[in-house]
Amino acid sequence: MEQHTATSYSRSYLSCLRQDVESWAANFEIKNMNLSIVDNDRSPYSTRLVQKVEASEYFHLIDVSNNYQEAMQCIEKGDADLILEIPPHFERDLLKTGVAKVLVSANTVNGTKGTLGSSYLSNIVNAYATEIRISHSGSISPSPVIKIDTQGRFNLYLDYKVFMVPALMAQLLMMLCGFLPALNIVSEKEFGTIEQINVTPVSKFTFILAKLIPYWVAGMLILTISIILAWLVYGLVPAGHLWLLHFFALLFIIVISGMGLVVSNYSRTMQQAMFVMFFFVIIIMLMSGLFT
């Protein structure tokens, strides 16, 4: 009887352990996000809100800044992921008019972290507002409500084309300067003309440059045309300098064409090169944040 009980306990423990491992493997929670708080009110109500956010396991309070510009420096340096700004007269507005606003600013370079972080912070603020309403039910009229303002810094109105048009430019460069050089070079091996090139006085370096330079030039030309079309059709203009954009685009083109060159070197047929490049391009597209 004791042996049976011990066996049942062991199986139950292993089952719980297996469930924990499975939950770890498919866990989409993001914890310990770095948070900077700007408390412009410094009242008991704002202090309680700061304490509630600080007590959450989802956030790690790194700084209580004096102003919003100082908190933005933490964002720019990569030290903070989110900013919670409590405006002046937060307590007075909450108790007098029943409505107070707070600002949530999220660094959405990592879109998943920024979206989930804003959602977690909104839930904490809403729970705090509910707690205040319950504790002051009947004594404060109207009932206290905390509103959250989220501002987009580079895309104020969250217009979809502002996200997609630059992303499609990068995808065009990837397809043109990654796929086509790989297929072009491996076609020489598949058709047998690479053997004729090997007996010519053309060096490997010259042969590779002759194959890649036309795609580099075409890629820069297509980028320029895409920028002009984005301006004419959608009214989108790059925020930075055009020469800087072209410089980094050229670096991207060289890297992606180099990857296509490596794939073509190890591929025997165009079909094999196409599938291998498709595999890597899909991974790059998913990691870039275009679909996520």
CA distance 266 to 157: 47
Q: By the 8 A CB rule, do 281 and 171 touch?
A: no
Residue ranges per structural domain of the chain: 33-150, 160-288
Residues 95-137: tens digit of each pLDDT:
787 788 898 888 877 777 888 888 888 888 888 888 887 776 6
CA distance 185 to 40: 62
The answer, yes or no, to whether residue 291 has pLDDT greater than 70, is no
Work out the angle between the directed axes of helices 204-229 and 242-266 (0-180°, nearest 10). 140
φ, ψ for residue 226, nearest 5 deg: -65, -40
CA distance 160 to 3: 64
CA distance 73 to 6: 58
Highest mean pLDDT among 43-47, 92-96, 113-117, 135-139: 43-47
Task: Give the pLDDT confidence score for residue 246 in this predicted structure.
Answer: 92
Helix (H) or strand (E) holding 86: strand 82-86
Question: What would the CATH number be for the domain defined by 33-150?
Answer: 3.40.1710.10
Q: Global pTM?
A: 0.58
CA distance 66 to 220: 45
